[in-house]
Amino acid sequence: MIKSILFVFLGGGLGSVLRYLISKSVNTATIPYGTFAVNIIGSLLIGIILGLSAKGNILTTNQTLFLATGFCGGFTTFATFAYENQQFLKTGDFISFAVYTIGSFIVGFLAIFLGLYLANNYS
C-alpha cells in the first residue's frame, strides 16, 4: 500500500508542476487556453494509459498508478476549470462560458476515445 501511495504521490507532483508551467505560459488574461490544453492532453494520455493497462502485460499496476492516477490526476484539473467558468459567469461572458464548457467536455471525451483507440490498435 505504501509503495502504491508513493507512485501516486510522485506522479501527481510531476503532473501538477507540468500543469502549472503550461498554464502560466499559455493562459491569457481572457481565455484559459492552458487549462483547456492540459485537460485535453490529460484526457488523451489517460485514454492511452488505461487502454494499454487493459491490454495486460504492457503496463504494470505501479506504472498505471504512477501515470494515470498520479500524473494525469495531477496534470488535469477540474477545480481550475470550474473556477475559470465561474469567472466567465461573473463577468457576464456567457459565450466564452458556453464555448469553453461544451468544448472541454466534447473534446475531452473525444481525446479519451482517441487514446483508447490508439492504445488498442498501435501497441
Provide the residue type at 115 as one letter.
G
Q: Please say whether the beta carbons of 53 and 108 come within 8 A.
A: no
In terms of Cβ atoms closer than 10 Å to its own Cβ (0-12, 13-18, 19+), residue 39 is: buried
Q: Could you state, in order of their start, the residue ranges of all structural domains in the chain? A: 2-121
User: What would you report as the CA-atom Rg of the chain, rounded to the nearest whole angstrom?
Assistant: 16
The pLDDT of residue 57 is 81
32, three cell numbers: 484559459
Q: Which amino acid is at 121?
A: N
pLDDT score of 122: 87
Q: pLDDT means per 10 residues in the chain (123 residues)?
A: 96 96 86 91 94 89 95 90 93 96 96 95 84
Q: What global pTM score does this model have?
A: 0.85
N-terminal to C-terminal alpha carbon distance within the chain: 29
What was the pLDDT predicted at 79? 82
